[in-house]
């Protein structure tokens, strides 16, 4: 089983299984692609943890929820 996770420092998607570095911050686990990202996160975990939480739900390719809702609500012609 491999979980796809986002490296909160550089934004890269990686497999949790294969991530060479990991760490915990405020009870959540994070994975990093490199020692550089690991070090940056450990230096400023609060900043990166927040960015990660905000970015994850809409990571680049979510369909626009608003337009979907609009189409469903549109009355029949
Ligand atoms: Zn990285």
Residue 38 lies in a domain: yes
Q: What domain count does the chain have?
A: 1
From the CA of 19, how far away is ligand 1's center (Å)? 10
Can you give the residue range of the structural domain that contains 29? Answer: 4-72
- What is the per-residue pLDDT across 52-73, written as a single tens digit (0 to 9) for each? 555 555 444 444 455 555 556 6
Distance 76 CA to ligand 1 centre (A): 49
Token pair, residue 75, equals 């009355």
60 CA distance to ligand 1 middle (Å):
17
pTM of the predicted protein model: 0.62
**Does residue 77 form part of some domain?**
no
Mean of pLDDT over the chain: 78
Determine, yes or no, domain membership for 51: yes
CA 65 to centroid of ligand 1, rounded, Å = 29
Q: Are 4 and 43 in contact (CB under 8 A)?
A: no
Query: Is residue 66 in some structural domain?
Result: yes
One-letter-per-residue 3-state SS of the chain: CCCEEECCCCCCEEECCCCCEEEEECCEEEEECCHHHHHHHHHCHHHHHHHHHHHHHHCCCCCCHHHHHHHHHCCCC
């Amino acid at each position: 089983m491999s979980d796809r996770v986002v490296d909160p420092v550089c934004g890269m998607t990686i497999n949790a299984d294969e991530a060479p570095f990991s760490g915990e911050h405020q009870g959540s686990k994070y994975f990093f692609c490199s020692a550089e990202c690991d070090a940056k996160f450990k230096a400023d975990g609060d900043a990166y943890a927040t960015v990660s939480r905000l970015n994850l739900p809409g990571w680049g390719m979510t369909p626009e929820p608003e337009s979907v809702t609009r189409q469903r609500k549109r009355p029949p012609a």
